[in-house]
Amino acid sequence: MTGSTPLLSARNIHKAFTIRQSALGRAREVVHAVNDVSLDIAPGSTLGIVGESGSGKSTLGRVCLRMVEADRGQIRFGDADLRAMPAGQLRRTRSHMTTIFQDPYSALDPQWTVGRIIEEPLRINGSGGRAERHQMIADILPLVGLSADAIHRVPRSFSGGQRQRIVIARALVTRPKLVFCDEPVSALDVSTRAQVLGLLRELQREFDLAYLFVSHDLGVVERMSDRIAVMYLGSIVEIGAADRVAQGYRHPYTAALVSASPAPDPLAQRARNRVVLNGDPPSPVDIPAGCPFHPRCALAIARCATDKPELVMGADGHGVACHVTNADLALTGDGLLDSVLAGRKPAVERTIS
Amino acid sequence: MNWMMRTGGAAPALPTAEQAEPALLVEALQIGLVGARAVTPVVTGLDLSLARQEVLGLVGESGSGKSLTSLAIARLLDTRSVRVLHGSVRLFGRDLLACSEAEMRAVRGKDIGMIFQDPMTSLDPAFTTGYQLTSVIRRHTAVDKQAARRRAVELLGLVGIGDPRRRIDQYPHQLSGGMRQRVMIAMAIACEPRVLIADEPTTALDATTQAQILELIKNLARTLRMSTIITTHDLGVIAEVCDTVAVMYAGQIVEHATTEQIFYHPQHPYTERLLLSLPRVGVEQEMLGIPGAPPRAGDFPPGCRFAPRCEYVTKPQCVANPVPLKQLDAARGSRCVRSEQLTLQGVRT
Amino acid sequence: MTLQEISIAPAAGLSEARRVGTLHAFGRRRLAVAAVVVFVLIVLAALLAPVLGLHNPNTQALTDRLRGPSWNHLLGTDELGRDQLARILAATKISLWASCQATVVGVVLGVPIGLAMGLVGGRADSVISRAFDSLQSIPPLILAIAIVAIVGRNLTPAMIAIGIVFSPTFYRVSRAAASTIAGETYIEASRSMGQRTYKIVLAHVLGNASSALIVQVSTTFAFGILAEAALSYLGLGVQPPSASLGSMLTSAANLLNSSPQLTVEPGVVIIVLVLCVSLVGDALRDVSAGELR
């Protein structure tokens, strides 16, 4: 990693939600969404977070932007301590960290015109007068590929891809430094996806934006990110440069995730050695002791059921949380895949309930 | 065994002697949307042929009409808003569109099995999985309650649900998404139908669960010798499971061919652009998109429906008249007037 | 696209202003338009009564009692010789005004807090919801009678009482609407920009909840007319010599056998008013449901 200060720095974040309480107010069912996660985002770069449902990736993003309060941990945005910030300063800071949401059909107030929608963040922060705001809106529309007459129209008259462009315009009109992209293309068609992702990359270059890019689609994350973090049940199991994680992965779960990413190439797909996990992803209400992945892991040893592995960072910036692969550094990529496929039965049988 | 594994293997062989009657033959199907004043056609002139034991993928983006088509085959369209205007759907020679509703009820579940997209809402939350499964079994086969229950347990095991004797008495909300989808698959194959229609079966599932379900569908199609239609927007699913592919755009089939032909030698510009829009893990490739949006029903251009977005468009041949689906050879067709002139780029170059 | 999206898309076309769309859809429902016209005519007649050159509604003419309709008195006279037509128009004005008061009270008490609780939820929501539930568990007329007994027998206190009785319904409707809206992503987006809660309620929630609220207002207004009629029938609302439609029914009740027109006339007006308002409310509900998305 470069020596420069990260734009966003999170340390030891914990977040749990209580979803059911007994009559006496004691917590009955607790969702441990994020468990001891630390990460850094360098200015102008993209950190991709990939994981399936229940991995905690969306919660992590919201916690990092303080849209949801963390239970424990430290978050620094630039020089400032985000968690300790007073309300007024926090509101001003929000113009520097914005969000692009997943569902373009729900992210825009159906009663508002596009102009008013994009103006909202500018009004909240009270920067400049009406004329200045209108100019900023007029400036950003062509940058996201919308025509100037869009200002007077309502969201209903736009397609999904166009609505997402409006969401992007709203997120960028305050010229933020960090944009949290929460599954920004998952709700779009394949052909529209490519366009919107292309737009995001272009805008990143143009405005030197940092992205916190959350998605369940490894192909998309790899395409968009400089670094990738793989999450499973609230913990980061692997983190490193994008191509290293996608091809030279070192965690058995990453191997399964890569295997599950469909290759649109029939011969390659059929010739592929793939890992298909058994059982269903366990829920974050009931996180196994030790390594959260061990019940489904073919390489699990006795230690995996009792000690949660630390995320051990190598000198090259590639970190893995796995007792087995940290002990045998040769297990990466295809070699790891073969080991998993040939793997022994796990030492502890655990029925997936 | 805790892991399933799959290593390379040849594609399953298609049945020879294509003179055998196709399992499903759709001809000139036209589906329209019922508006306030008029009915607007959206799917037009659709021809489809599904051979025995073939797995056909119907791929298209939103608005392409693929779901409407698959629902129309099973006559499950909500006739208040969507209606079949024209055409025939022959299941082993029998025209389903001419059947009465009572006859169709006998066909659904027994001859045609259906898997729907969203397992969260496709199972009735008020009844146990056992009840729902045995209902299907007893509706189409004359067995008593105990026999039906035994068969239901067997089916749950067949679709890979662990501890089926316990699961059979559980309610849908007690099962995960992947398990609910398996239950739906069990219901679909309960009476060993000859045709299976899967409408976006994995779209609502996680990546790792998706891989499991696709494996399952593929294996079941093979062991139960079902002819299968899978609709999806995901070309990865097609590459994984299908023998043949039909690409839909704006209510029409624009190209159909074997899976390998579609991926390596597409014959329609839309197919080409679709392939180029896909990101692949570990492959350096610029992701292009397709600018613009598909035309809405009622707003179709007079000529080729893809012409406004096509980079190869030439006037007047592409825009003057509706383009018919041209048979390029026995097993492939393309709805592009210029398919012979163009050399289109496939996945491997 | 889901089937629903496909089927709605061609109908939506390119209509850009939502208001025009609403008016247009409303205009197609002829019964509702007729109801609006009738209602407006009645209101105009009631408001313009003083300048229409009619008899004074309070002038008694004891020699002219209980006459049937005639050219001089188009709807006849009542038991004190007062012109029935003039009295009915004056009474209509009072009834409408009374119902307005009750509706406004109900809205002011129930809507702002309902919207806020729907958006925010939490413990405050539980407590306040239970409070409104308790209020609603009291039989409405009895509550109104109790309030009137404390505050006084006039029309305004009576209608405020009715308004209090109406407020739980407004609370519930606005809370439900706000609750649904609270789950929308644009609310989360607003928060992520640092917008304050009360501004979110005003800027986003109120606008999107308006169709549900408008429907509830029209329903409540209709009930208000009936409630006022009931209270006045019991002698707790408007006091003589003023009359409301309900009090006219009361005083004419004894004369049902001999002069039925004295009950029928105000009765018909009540029915017509309630019917018009209900039809408009129904149509508004259909229209707003049909244009979701």
* Alpha-carbon gap, residue B334 to A245, rounded angstroms: 40
> Residue C21: its pLDDT value, please?
56
The single-letter DSSP state of residue B108 is B
> Residue A44: its pLDDT value, please?
94
pLDDT one-digit tens code per residue, B277-335:
887 666 666 677 888 888 888 889 999 999 999 989 888 888 888 899 988 888 899 99
Which chain C residues are closer than 8 Å to A125 by Cβ? 194
B14 in contact with A, Cβ within 8 Å: no
Token reading at A91: 């509101």
How many Cα atoms within 13 Å fall on the side-chain side of residue B214? Answer: 33
* B65 compared with C238, residue with greater pLDDT: B65
Q: How confident is the model at residue B1 (pLDDT cuts 50, 70, 90)?
A: very low
For residue C16, give the nearest of A94, A101, A154 by CB distance: A154
Tell if the CB–CB gap between C18 and A111 is shorter than 8 Å.
yes
C78 within a domain of the structure (yes/no):
no
C193 within a domain of the structure (yes/no):
yes
Token reading at C121: 């939820």
Write out the residue range of the structural domain in which residue C128 sits: 25-49+83-262
pLDDT one-digit tens code per residue, A168-206:
999 999 999 999 999 999 888 888 888 899 999 999 999
Residues of chain C with pLDDT under 70: 1-28, 288-293
Residues of chain A with pLDDT under 50: 1, 344-353
> Residue A167: its pLDDT value, please?
96
Q: How far is A306 from chain C (nearest CA, A)?
A: 38
pLDDT one-digit tens code per residue, C12-49:
333 334 455 566 666 667 888 888 899 889 888 888 87
Determine phi and psi for C148, rounding to 5 degrees.
-65, -40
DSSP per position, C183-200: TSHHHHHHHHTT--HHHH
Which of C1, C6, C286 should we substitute to test contact with B (largest number of B Cβ atoms within 10 Å)?
Answer: C6
Tell if the CB–CB gap between B237 and A193 is shorter than 8 Å.
no
For residue C192, give the nearest of A65, A112, A154 by CB distance: A65
- Relative to beta strand A8-21, strand A72-77 is antiparallel
Nearest CA to B205 among B197, B216, B189? B216
> Residue C25: its pLDDT value, please?
67
Q: How confident is the model at residue B149 (pLDDT cuts 50, 70, 90)?
A: very high
Nearest CA to A233 among A163, A286, A165? A286
Q: How far is C24 from chain A (nearest CA, A)?
A: 17
Least confident of B110-114, B137-141, B204-208: B204-208
Tell if the CB–CB gap between B63 and C3 is shorter than 8 Å.
no
User: 3-class SS at B43?
Assistant: strand
* Alpha-carbon gap, residue A103 to A160, rounded angstroms: 9
> Residue C17: its pLDDT value, please?
40
A106 in contact with C, Cβ within 8 Å: yes
Tell if the CB–CB gap between C186 and A108 is shorter than 8 Å.
yes
Neighbours of chain A (3+ CB pairs under 8 A): B, C
pLDDT one-digit tens code per residue, B160-176:
888 899 999 999 988 88
Task: Find the closest chain A residue to C206 by CA distance.
Answer: A111
C172 within a domain of the structure (yes/no):
yes
Tell if the CB–CB gap between B297 and C10 is shorter than 8 Å.
yes
Q: Where are the alpha helices (DSSP H) in chain A?
A: 57-64, 87-93, 114-124, 130-143, 160-172, 190-207, 218-224, 242-247, 252-260, 266-271, 323-327, 333-341
From chain C residues 23-82, the ones with a CB under 8 A of any chain A CB are none
Residue B18 pLDDT more than 70? no
Matching residue, tokens 């569908």: B217
Nearest CA to B270 among B303, B305, B239, B306? B306
Which chain B residues are closer than 8 Å to A223 by Cβ? 279, 287
C193 in contact with A, Cβ within 8 Å: yes
B77 with B31: CB under 8 angstroms?
yes
* Alpha-carbon gap, residue B141 to B111, rounded angstroms: 12
Task: Find the closest chain C residue to A151 by CA distance.
Answer: C16
Tell if the CB–CB gap between B6 and A159 is shorter than 8 Å.
no
Tell if the CB–CB gap between A154 and C18 is shorter than 8 Å.
yes
For residue A257, give the nearest of B11, B208, B287 by CB distance: B208
For residue B206, give the nearest of A53, A247, A283 by CB distance: A53
Task: Find the closest chain A residue to B349 by CA distance.
Answer: A265
Q: How far is B197 from chain C (nearest CA, A)?
A: 18
Q: Which value does ipTM take for this structure?
A: 0.86
Token reading at A216: 């369940």
Tell if the CB–CB gap between A152 and C188 is shorter than 8 Å.
no
Nearest CA to B159 among B224, B98, B101? B224
Q: How far is C235 from chain A (nearest CA, A)?
A: 47
Q: How far is B158 from chain A (nearest CA, A)?
A: 14
> Residue C48: its pLDDT value, please?
85
C171 within a domain of the structure (yes/no):
yes
Mean pLDDT of chain B: 86
A8-236 sits in which CATH class? Answer: alpha beta
Q: How far is B173 from chain A (nearest CA, A)?
A: 13
Which chain C residues are closer than 8 Å to A101 by Cβ? 185, 188-189
Nearest CA to A304 among A318, A320, A322, A287? A322
A215 in contact with B, Cβ within 8 Å: no
pLDDT one-digit tens code per residue, B335-348:
999 988 888 888 87
* Alpha-carbon gap, residue B255 to A344, rounded angstroms: 46
Which chain B residues are closer than 8 Å to A218 by Cβ? 207, 281
Which chain A residues are closer than 8 Å to C206 by Cβ? none
> Residue B282: its pLDDT value, please?
63
For residue C189, give the nearest of A99, A111, A152 by CB distance: A99
Residue-wise burial string across C83-105, b where 16 or more C-beta atoms lie within 10 A, e elsewhere = bbbbbbbbbbbbbbbbbebbbbb
C11 in contact with A, Cβ within 8 Å: no
Task: Find the closest chain B residue to A50 by CA distance.
Answer: B207
A68 in contact with C, Cβ within 8 Å: no
Tell if the CB–CB gap between B62 and C9 is shorter than 8 Å.
no
> Residue C289: its pLDDT value, please?
63
* Alpha-carbon gap, residue B91 to B106, rounded angstroms: 13
> Residue A270: its pLDDT value, please?
77
Token reading at B260: 């390998």
Give long-range contacts, CB 8 A cutoff, 24+ apart: C160-163: C160/C101, C160/C102, C160/C105, C162/C102, C162/C105, C162/C106, C162/C224, C162/C227, C162/C228, C162/C231, C163/C101, C163/C102, C163/C103, C163/C104, C163/C105, C163/C106, C163/C109
The single-letter DSSP state of residue B346 is -
For residue C10, give the nearest of B62, B67, B296 by CB distance: B296
Q: How confident is the model at residue B15 (pLDDT cuts 50, 70, 90)?
A: very low
User: Domain locations in chain A?
Assistant: 8-236, 248-352
Tell if the CB–CB gap between A264 and B348 is shorter than 8 Å.
no
A163 in contact with C, Cβ within 8 Å: no
> Residue A259: its pLDDT value, please?
85
Which chain B residues are closer than 8 Å to C6 by Cβ? 33, 42, 63, 68, 297
> Residue A24: its pLDDT value, please?
61
> Residue A84: its pLDDT value, please?
92
Q: How far is C291 from chain B (nearest CA, A)?
A: 14
Neighbours of chain C (3+ CB pairs under 8 A): A, B
C18 in contact with A, Cβ within 8 Å: yes
Domain of C107: which CATH number? 1.10.3720.10
* Alpha-carbon gap, residue A326 to B254, rounded angstroms: 51
In Å, what is the CA distance from B121 to each residue of A144, B73, B74, B329, C240?
36, 21, 19, 42, 62
pTM of the model: 0.83
Give the number of domains in chain C.
Answer: 1
Which chain A residues are closer than 8 Å to C193 by Cβ? 94-95, 98, 120-121, 124
The single-letter DSSP state of residue B92 is T
What is the set of domains in chain B, with CATH numbers? Answer: 3-9+22-242 (3.40.50.300)
Which chain B residues are closer than 8 Å to C11 by Cβ? 35-36
Tell if the CB–CB gap between C16 and A98 is shorter than 8 Å.
no
Q: How far is A108 from chain C (nearest CA, A)?
A: 5
C10 within a domain of the structure (yes/no):
no
